[in-house]
Amino acid sequence: MESLVLHNVKDFELTHIFECGQCFRWKKEEDGSYTGVIKQGVLNVRKQGQDVCFCGELDGDFKAICEDYFDLKRDYSAIKKKLCENDENMKMASAYGYGIRILNQDPWEMLVSFIISAANNIPRISKTIENIAKAYGREVEYNGNTYYLFPSPEELSRASIEDLRALNLGFRDKYVHEATRLVASGEVRIEDILKMDTISAREELMKIPGIGAKVADCILLFSMRRMESFPVDTWIKKVMSELYVDSTNITQINQYAAHKFGKYAGIAQQYLFYYKRSA
């Protein structure tokens, strides 16, 4: 087991990070820490005062993986300051979810996870993803417990549509099946999408069945470092029409957000989403 302690970490709250809707595989432990399965293995995170402690079994450079996954090199205070200029709503929202950080998760896992998120609720999404990992992912041991990595495209290729339906995917089974085939066959190359500009990457993602504008923006924001991506779901639609723009048209809301929040629109989205959903 490896560990890392970082002292006096600003803009970092476990609840804000893990409960703002960007991830599905982190669970709160009895001691208040969170344990999650990421691409490289199992990780546990806890806070003691202003210190953050990471423990886990990861395949690779432990410190580098943690810094990358939790976006630790980014100055969220500076971003908040910028977003809050002449914006009382954002001051409220960012003060509420002050410890939010955008996780840098695995693109393939997010692609599947957010296809599953369509017209779904969070407990069921989490359960479905666990079912998939347990059925097709590699088993890993950590701290006396068994966890399952999210399966690679090749591993998930073993699943038929019927298999996926049995794992509680519902009508999304055919989308995940086809998305898996596209990626495993190389018809869709995620490593190529990562190199594209955000507009092109979004278009490419939306060619995959089950991925519309909202799901594409989630994948871009939560796994491809596109901080300008602004996923508009039903909650954001409500918040935006209440506070900012007199429209419920998703395209118009996206345009407004791009103009108003610029290259950090995605971070603004998370503050607004968490504020609206929790407060």
Partner DNA sequence: CCACAGGACGGCT
Partner DNA sequence: AGCCGTCCTGTG
Interacting positions 125-184 with DNA (CB under 7 A): 165, 168, 170-171, 175
Tell me the closest approach of the beta carbon of residue 121 to DNA, in angstroms. 4
The reply on whether position 251 binds DNA by CB under 7 A is yes
Among 231, 257, 271, 275, binds DNA (CB under 7 A): 231
* Three-state secondary structure call for residue 71: coil
CA distance 197 to 199: 6
Our CB check for DNA shows the closer of 22 and 35 to be 22
Task: Kindly write out the interface string for residues 85-114 of this chain, putting x where it contacts DNA by CB under 7 A and - elsewhere.
Answer: -----------------------------x
In order, the DSSP letters of 214-253 are HHHHHHHHHHS--TT-----HHHHHHHHHHT-S---HHHH
CA distance 176 to 182: 10
**Residue pair 2/57 in contact by the 8 Å Cβ criterion:** yes
What is the side-by-side strand order in the sheet with 2-6?
A: 2-6, 51-58, 41-48, 34-38, 26-28
Among 79, 218, 220, 265, binds DNA (CB under 7 A): 218
CB proximity list for 78: less than 8 A, separation 6 or greater = none
Our CB check for DNA shows the closer of 40 and 229 to be 229
Type and span of the H or E element at 275: helix 265-278
Tell me the window of 7-15, 17-25, 156-164, 190-198 that interacts with DNA (CB under 7 A).
Answer: 17-25
Tell me the closest approach of the beta carbon of residue 23 to DNA, in angstroms. 8
The reply on whether position 22 binds DNA by CB under 7 A is yes
Tell me the window of 7-15, 41-49, 121-129, 194-202 that interacts with DNA (CB under 7 A).
Answer: 121-129
Binding residues vs DNA (CB under 7 A): 20-22, 114, 117-122, 124, 165, 168, 170-171, 175, 206, 208-216, 218, 231, 233-235, 249, 251
